[in-house]
Amino acid sequence: MIVSALLTSVGINSALCLSFLVLYSILKKQPAYYGVYIPRLVAEGKTKQRDDFNLERLIPSPNWVKKAWMLSEEELLSSSGLDAVVFMRIVTFSFKVLLFAGVIGIFVLLPVNCSGDQLEDVDLVNISNNSLDVFTISNVKDGSHWLWIHFSAVYLITAYICCLLYYEYKYISSRRIEYFCSSKPLFHQFTILVRAIPASAGGSISDSVEHFFTEYHPSTYLSHTVVRRTSKLRGLINDAKTMYGRLGHLQSNLTQIQPNRGSCFGLFRRKDDLVDRYERRLGDIEQRLRLEQSEVSLAGKEVPAAFVSFKSRYGAAIAMHMQQSDNPIHWVTERAPEPHDVYWPFFSSTFMQRWISKLGVAVACFLLTILFFIPVLVVQGLTNLNQLQTRFPFLKGFLTITFISQIITGYLPSLILQSFLKMVPPVMEYLSSIQGYISLSEIRKSACFKVLWFTIWNIFFASVFSGTALFQLSMVFEPKTIPRRLAVAVPAQASFFIAYVVTSGWTSSLSELINLFPLIRSLVTKPFSGNSDDEQEVPSISYHSDIPRTLFFVLLGVTYFFLAPLILPFLLVHFSLEYIVYRNQFINVYAPKYETAGRFWPIAHSCIIFSLVLMHAIAVGIFTLKKLPLASSLLVPLPILTLLFNEYCRKRFLPNFSAYSAETLIKKDRKDENDPAMAEFLDNLVTAYSDPALMPVSFTANSDSLSRPLMSPED
């Protein structure tokens, strides 16, 4: 790509950004779009439904930027939980890293690169026709002593990032403990999940659990809830809900039609019949539902898994940490999620089931990665216009138009890639859900990890090597050649990734701000349903797609920092946008659905360590190619030290992210001992973990009044 193509891309995107920002400023103030832009405030009743029109509503104002900027960490913590704080800290962390890299890159490395004369076609007068390669390390002469500056920069940035990582890990780890200490008693703190419960001869699973825990944990055991197979029941409830929804819709239509068009009596009659029929069918389903519920409550439908609650947090922790039975794959214990976080479908329970599904999911992820290669290859084809012209000669006339060719090379590839990538997070979430996790938060966390590696592999490596998947895999079997191969391929893709940051990065932040999909949905559905606003749920942020994207841009920044520092200013713009946009979204749009208390941070940490090591590998290769073997050899200790640092962090901080210490738990338990509210809390705990599908439901009773069901089962 040449400079002018990049400028085109930047121009288009800046214009898009600006117009999006203006559009947002205006749309946000329209009460019709409150459901899209401030659903959280609506749900909390913090907005006044002023329907009176005034001019102010049409003038864009930067007020929301100020509000988002002023939000303090404590406010964010209290309103959106620790996960939101950690997410924002990942963004600011990335910004800090890239700012430091940017200062070195732009003021030190870029001049060095430009002053080189390795590339012959440099034309400093007419710079816009230059290839972007002039700004990269490729322009530095082979064996030049200037390369030692790049060498020092690599050491410097590694040291800086490691320091930052250490303090960040420490801070988040202490924050996590503080958060736990200041939390009010929560059900999941007192509960563990026990799986693979061996059935005692004759008795039910419930008896078995009761007997085991009264026998071995008599002083702390409180109660238990056995999990039951409720997939059929859940299907029936969904049927009932759909039917109820249809019925409600029909009846509201009727009430609208009745006064307006008394003439169409036939139509009205037919609709009335329909209502009767629907009501009857709803009644049928409900009856079947109750039958099924009572059937499920019998012992036969028990899954060999149970939520076991204890009288103290420490008691629960002891039962969780100790191997309970002589057979380690029986009575397998793990932390319980909050009751509303439990993912009831796919409740696999035995050890072998979970093991096999894990293997299956691993294979599925592998296949997905390989199949995804096809769109990536097509996209890569677009950046090589010449190839495209030789393959499809009829496009030749079209492609020679400068503007079109610049759009195609600068803009289209990353847009296509982006739209394909949109499909990945839901797929990965589905794969994680069948892997045996029992909570939404765990599923999302696992999906976050999967999406991250998928992104790195399929965007970074696939774009860099642009070979077949099998070709890439072959690299794994010849690790010695990796640095050299990377050194050849990575700098060549600098311009692609700059364009990627500008298009995908900037646009993604702004499409997040403008809430593109909910907006479209609202535009499409609004005309058909009047009161959809009330039913709309407050969305929760999907960390499993947003964190990987953020981290991928850090990876790009870190790996390209010394190769093509020109990428850094664009990344800084991206992260500034992201900072403001997400803070705004946390205030207005997203409400937390679950709380992992910062357990996404270790994923970010390991991704940044991976970026560093990848950068080192590329640097080793580059210095070898640039005929500075001494620098290559001197770089070898750096990845080793980085990995040792990572190992230290794993030992020093990671344990705090999977469990709390005895010290903390006992202190917290003692504080609660004298709390009179604890007795009531423990009473509630006994029934907290019952499957919502087993709750009594009643649709028919209120189908006439058109209010929502009294006790609506959650999805």
Q: What are the residues binding a copy of itself (CB under 8 A)?
A: 177, 216, 317-319, 321-329, 351, 355, 359, 474, 477-480, 644, 648, 651-656, 659-664, 666
Our CB check for a copy of itself shows the closer of 246 and 330 to be 330
Our CB check for a copy of itself shows the closer of 251 and 472 to be 472
Six token digits for residue 406: 């610049």
Sign of the torsion formed by the C-alpha atoms of 229, 235, 236 and 241: positive
Our CB check for a copy of itself shows the closer of 393 and 479 to be 479
Our CB check for a copy of itself shows the closer of 378 and 662 to be 662
The residue written with tokens 């005309």 in the block is 527
Query: Rounded distance, CA 612 to CA 617, Å?
Result: 9
Q: Is 274 exposed, middle or buried (0-12, 13-18, 19+ CB in 10 A)?
A: middle
Closest by alpha carbon to 546, among 58, 84, 173, 61?
A: 84
Q: Could you tell me the smallest distance in angstroms from the CB atom of residue 158 to a copy of itself?
A: 19
Q: Could you tell me the smallest distance in angstroms from the CB atom of residue 332 to a copy of itself?
A: 10
Our CB check for a copy of itself shows the closer of 346 and 351 to be 351
Q: What share of the chain is helix, strand, coil (3-state, %, to 5)?
A: 70, 5, 25
Six token digits for residue 565: 């520092």
Q: Could you tell me the smallest distance in angstroms from the CB atom of residue 674 to a copy of itself?
A: 17
Q: Is 160 exposed, middle or buried (0-12, 13-18, 19+ CB in 10 A)?
A: middle
Q: Could you tell me the smallest distance in angstroms from the CB atom of residue 566 to a copy of itself?
A: 34
Six token digits for residue 415: 């847009």
Q: What is the bridge-based pairing of β-strands 302-310 and 191-195?
A: antiparallel
Query: Rounded distance, CA 238 to CA 241, Å?
Result: 5
Query: Rounded distance, CA 399 to CA 397, Å?
Result: 6
Q: Could you tell me the smallest distance in angstroms from the CB atom of residue 201 to a copy of itself?
A: 18
Q: Could you tell me the smallest distance in angstroms from the CB atom of residue 367 to a copy of itself?
A: 16
Q: Could you tell me the smallest distance in angstroms from the CB atom of residue 305 to a copy of itself?
A: 17
Our CB check for a copy of itself shows the closer of 56 and 326 to be 326
Our CB check for a copy of itself shows the closer of 80 and 173 to be 173
Three-state secondary structure along 427-487? HHHHHHHCCCCCEHHHHHHHHHHHHHHHHHHHHHHHHHHCCCHHHHHHHHCCHHHHHHHHH
Our CB check for a copy of itself shows the closer of 211 and 277 to be 211
Let me know how long the chain is. Answer: 715
What is the side-by-side strand order in the sheet with 332-335?
221-228, 302-310, 191-195, 332-335
Q: What angle do CA 368, 371, 372 make, to 5 degrees?
A: 80
Three-state secondary structure along 199-246? CCCCCCHHHHHHHHHHHHCCCCEEEEEEEECCHHHHHHHHHHHHHHHH
Our CB check for a copy of itself shows the closer of 324 and 703 to be 324
Q: Could you tell me the smallest distance in angstroms from the CB atom of residue 642 to a copy of itself?
A: 15
Contact 310, 220 (CB under 8 A): yes
Q: Could you tell me the smallest distance in angstroms from the CB atom of residue 9 to a copy of itself?
A: 40
Q: Could you tell me the smallest distance in angstroms from the CB atom of residue 632 to a copy of itself?
A: 15
Our CB check for a copy of itself shows the closer of 245 and 328 to be 328
Our CB check for a copy of itself shows the closer of 181 and 711 to be 181
Closest by alpha carbon to 544, among 696, 671, 428?
A: 428
Residue type, 369: T
Contact 9, 503 (CB under 8 A): yes
Q: Could you tell me the smallest distance in angstroms from the CB atom of residue 215 to a copy of itself?
A: 8
Q: Could you tell me the smallest distance in angstroms from the CB atom of residue 364 to a copy of itself?
A: 16
Our CB check for a copy of itself shows the closer of 99 and 329 to be 329
Tell me the three state secondary structure of residue 403: helix
